[in-house]
Amino acid sequence: MQPFVYRNDELYCEDVPVSRLAAEYGTPLWIYSKAFLRHQLGQIQQAFAAAEPVICYSVKANSNLGILQVMHEAGSSFDVVSGGELYRVKAAGADPTKVVFAGVGKTDEEIRFALENRILMFDVESEAELDAISRIAAELGVVGPIALRLNPDIDAKTHAKTTTGKKGNKFGMDIERFQELADKVLRDPHLELLGIHMHLGSPILTTEPYELAGRKAVEVVQSLRAKGHNIRWLNLGGGFGISYRQNEGPAASVYAEVIVPAAREAGCRLVLEPGRFVVGNSAVLVSRVVFTKREGGKLFVIQDGAMNDLIRPAMYDSFHRLWPVRPQVAMPENVEGEIPGCEKTDVVGPICESSDYFAKDRCLPPLKRGDLLATFSAGAYGMSMSSNYNSRPRAAEILVDGSSVKVIRRRETYADLVAHELPE
C-alpha cells in the first residue's frame, strides 16, 4: 500500500493534495495517512495470528493521541516506556490491562502508577528494578506481573545508537543474571514471572536476529518451566525494518515465518512491540524552501523544517527520501546517485547547528524560494523526538482519511513556547 503518490505531477496523501494542506495549515507540517496505519497494523495482526499475539504498538515511535486512537480502534494494545506514555494510552481510551512497560529506569511513581492500572506486565531490566516492583506491589497488596528482559547478545546489524540486544548495552541482562532473578521471583509472593522479553534493536531488515532470539527463547522458557514458573508470554519486542530507500523493508509475514514457530515451540502466546513498522511510512514532513544559496562550491536549500522537527539524520545519520511536492522531474525509484535534470543539493534547516540537515549531496530537481519539499518515512521517531530548540514552535499534525482531513495537533504558538516558564 502506498498512501503518498504523485498524480498529475503533484504529491497526494490518499485523496488530498499535499500542497492544499500546506497552504491551509502552514509549514513545516506532518501529514499522516490513516489507511496506511490500519494497513500496517493489519499486516502484523494477520501474519502473526497463529501465535495468538497481543500487538503492543510502541508508543515512543509516535505518541500523538490521534495516532494512539487509530491504533486502539484497530485492535492494538501498547508498549510504553514511561508513566507519561501510560497516561497517554489511557487518555486515548485504551485498556491499560494489556499494556507492557519496558525501560531501564522506571521510578517508584511510574511503577506504582502501572500497578494501580493493572498493566499486563513489566519488562524488568535489572535486579534493583525487580526489588522495587516487589516492594511497591507489597505496599499495594497486589502481585507484580513481570517478564525478565534478556540481553541475548545478538548483533542486529543496525546503527550503533539503535542496537539494544548486544552485550555491553544498558538494556536487559545476561542469561546468568536472568536465571538468578528468575529464582528470586520464585521465592517472592509479590511477583509472578509470566514471560520473557527481548528487544534486539531497530531497524532490523533481516530475519536472522529474530531466528536466533526465538531459538534462545525456546531454551530459556523450557528451563524456567522446569523450575516451576508458569511462563505464558514470549515478547520479542519490535524493530521490524521499513523501506526508507526503495523496497528494502520486508513484509510482516517474512518476520512471522521465523517468529511464529518459536512462539509455538515455546508454548507461549506472543507479544510484539512494533513501532516504526506501523507508523514510519505513514507520514511525510512537508517543509517550505526559505532560501537557496551557493557557497563553497555547494548548493544549499534552506527549508523551514529542521532538526528540532526531525532529528533522525542528525542523531542516527538516517536516510530519508526527499522530493518536491510539485516536482519538475518525476521521482525515480532510486533517489540515490545521479538523476538526469537534478543537481547535488544539501537540504538544511535554519537551526544554528552544522548537524541541522536532512540530506547531503542529494540529487534534487531545481528548487526555489516558496517551493514545498516532502520528507518521506517521517512518521516514526519524528514528532515524538521533536523539541523547541531555537525557540521554534512545534509543527502541526494532520491525519488524512480518504478525502477527509483532521488536525490531530495544532501548531504551537510563540505564547506556547513560554507558557510553562515562571519569570520574576
What is the per-residue DSSP string for 325-369?
SS-SSPPPS--SS--TT-EEEEEE-SSSSTT-EEEEEEEE----T
Window of 9-17, 127-135, 197-205, 282-290 that interacts with ligand PLP by CB under 6 A: 197-205
Binding pattern to ligand PLP, positions 113-142, x when CB under 6 A?
Answer: ------------------------------
Q: What are phi and psi of 401, to 5 degrees?
A: -135, 100
Question: Is residue 56 annotated as a catalytic residue, yes or no?
Answer: no
Smallest gap from residue 210 Cβ to ligand PLP (A) = 12
CA separation for the pair 193, 262 (Å, rounded): 19
Q: Is 274 in the site for ligand PLP (CB under 6 A)?
A: yes
Taking the alpha carbons at both ends of the chain, their separation in whole angstroms is 54
Pick from 292, 284, 286, 285: nearest CA to 367: 292
The verdict on 58 binding ligand PLP (CB under 6 A) reads yes
Count Cβ atoms below 10 Å from residue 128 Cβ, excluding itself.
Answer: 10
Task: Choose the binding region for ligand PLP from 13-21, 85-93, 213-221, 269-277 (rule: CB under 6 A).
Answer: 269-277
* Nearer residue to ligand PLP within complex by CB, 41 or 81: 81
CB of 193 to ligand PLP, least distance (A): 18
- Contacts from 247-254 at CB under 8 Å and sequence distance 24+? 248/205, 249/203, 249/205, 249/277, 249/281, 250/205, 250/206, 250/207, 251/43, 251/47, 252/40, 252/43, 252/44, 252/46, 252/47, 252/48, 252/277, 253/43, 253/46, 253/47, 254/207
Q: Which residues pair with 343 in a beta bridge?
A: 364
Is there binding between residue 237 and ligand PLP (CB under 6 A)?
yes
Residue 273 lies near ligand PLP (rule: CB under 6 A): yes
Residue with cell 522479553: 197
* Least distance (Å) between residue 330 CB and ligand PLP: 31
**Measured from the CB of residue 153, what is the shortest distance to ligand PLP in angstroms?**
17
Choose one: 10-18, 69-77, 153-161, 270-278; the region binding ligand PLP (CB under 6 A).
270-278
In this structure, how many other beta carbons lie within 10 angstroms of the beta carbon of residue 33? 26
Q: Which of 66, 195, 250, 275 binds ligand PLP (CB under 6 A)?
A: 275
Catalytic residue among 268, 342, 352, 363: 352
Q: Give the one residue of 79, 304, 309, 371 binding ligand PLP; rule: CB under 6 A.
A: 79
Is residue 102 near ligand PLP by the rule CB under 6 A? Answer: yes
Report, as residue numbers or ranges, the catalytic residues: 352
List residues binding ligand PLP (CB under 6 A): 58, 60-61, 79, 81, 102, 199, 202-203, 237-240, 273-277, 380
